C-alpha cells in the first residue's frame, strides 16, 4: 500500500465521519479545534517560541534563568561585537541544518529547564561541541587554515587525541572559564532581562501583579 492510497483512505474515512455528524456536532467540533489551536498558540507565544525559531537575538537565550551567566559573560566578551549565539552554537553551512539543529537543540533546552534537570555548570554535548568548533574554523578560516593550520582537524578528531579543540587553548572564549548560577550570582542583573510577553490581565490572574 503506497502513501497515496493510504491518504485517500484516510480522506474517505474523515468525510464519512463528518457526514454522520449533525450540524450542532460539527459546530462543536470546529469550536473545540479553535480552542485547542488558540491555547497552543498562546502556549508557544508565552514560551517566546518565535524568538527561538526565527529570531537571532541573544537576549532570547536568557528566557531561561540558567542562561543568565552565559549571556552576561558573552555580552562583555570580544565576540559580542560581531557574533550572536547562533553564529557559534548553530550550524551555518546551510539553512536546513541550521533550523533543524536549532529546533531540536532548543526543544531539548526547554525540556531541561521545565523539568529542572539542567546542570549548575553547563557543558556542551558532543553534537554541540562539534558545531561550535566547526563555526570557529568557519569564522577564523584564514587564521587557522593558512597561518597555523590548526583548523584542519574537527572536534571528533580532537576528542580522539589527534589534535586539540579550539578551546583547549582559548579557554576564556567566549564565556570565560567555568561559570554557573552560583559562580555568577548577579548575572541576571548585569544585562536587563527581556520584557515579559505575558499580558497584564493574565499576570494578574497568575498573581504576578
Please state the domain extents for the chain: 1-45, 57-199
Three-class SS state of 58: helix
Report whether 88 contacts 166 (CB < 8 A). Answer: no
> In this model, does residue 37 exceed pLDDT 90?
yes
User: Which pLDDT belongs to residue 207?
Assistant: 64
> In this model, does residue 32 exceed pLDDT 90?
yes
Written as nine digits, the cell of 52 is 527561538
Q: Which of 6-15, 188-197, 200-209 has the highest mean pLDDT?
A: 6-15
Would you tell me how many other CB atoms lie within 10 Å of the CB of residue 87?
15
Instruction: Give me the chain's average pLDDT, please.
Output: 78
User: Which pLDDT belongs to residue 193?
Assistant: 59
For the segment 21-36, the average pLDDT, to the nearest whole number, is 90
Domain 57-199, CATH class in plain words: mainly alpha
Report whether 32 contacts 25 (CB < 8 A). Answer: no
Grid cell 457526514 in the structure block, residue: 19
Would you tell me how many other CB atoms lie within 10 Å of the CB of residue 71?
23
Least confident of 5-14, 56-65, 69-78, 175-184: 175-184
Alpha carbons 150 and 88: distance in angstroms, whole number: 18
If you count them, how many residues does the chain have? 209
User: The pTM is what?
Assistant: 0.66
Q: Which of 66-80, 128-142, 186-200 has the highest mean pLDDT?
A: 128-142
Amino acid at each position: 500500500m503506497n502513501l497515496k492510497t493510504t491518504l485517500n483512505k484516510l480522506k474517505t474515512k474523515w468525510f464519512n465521519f463528518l457526514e454522520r455528524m449533525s450540524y450542532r456536532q460539527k459546530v462543536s467540533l470546529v469550536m473545540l479545534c479553535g480552542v485547542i489551536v488558540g491555547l497552543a498558540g498562546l502556549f508557544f507565544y508565552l514560551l517566546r517560541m518565535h524568538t527561538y525559531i526565527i529570531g537571532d537575538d541573544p537576549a532570547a537565550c536568557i528566557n531561561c534563568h540558567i542562561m543568565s551567566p552565559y549571556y552576561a559573560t558573552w555580552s562583555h566578551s570580544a565576540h559580542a561585537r560581531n557574533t550572536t549565539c547562533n553564529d557559534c552554537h548553530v550550524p551555518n553551512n546551510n539553512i536546513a541544518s541550521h533550523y533543524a539543529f536549532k529546533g531540536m537543540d532548543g526543544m531539548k533546552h526547554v525540556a531541561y529547564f521545565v523539568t529542572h534537570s539542567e546542570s549548575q555548570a553547563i557543558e556542551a554535548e558532543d553534537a554541540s561541541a562539534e558545531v561550535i568548533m566547526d563555526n570557529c574554523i568557519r569564522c577564523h578560516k584564514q587564521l587557522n587554515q593558512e597561518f597555523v593550520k590548526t583548523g584542519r582537524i574537527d572536534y571528533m578528531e580532537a576528542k580522539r587525541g589527534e589534535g586539540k579543540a579550539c578551546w583547549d587553548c582559548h579557554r576564556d572564549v567566549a564565556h570565560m572559564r567555568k561559570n554557573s548560577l552560583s559562580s555568577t550570582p548577579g548575572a541576571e542583573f548585569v544585562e536587563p532581562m527581556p520584557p515579559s510577553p505575558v499580558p497584564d490581565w493574565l499576570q494578574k490572574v497568575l498573581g504576578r501583579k
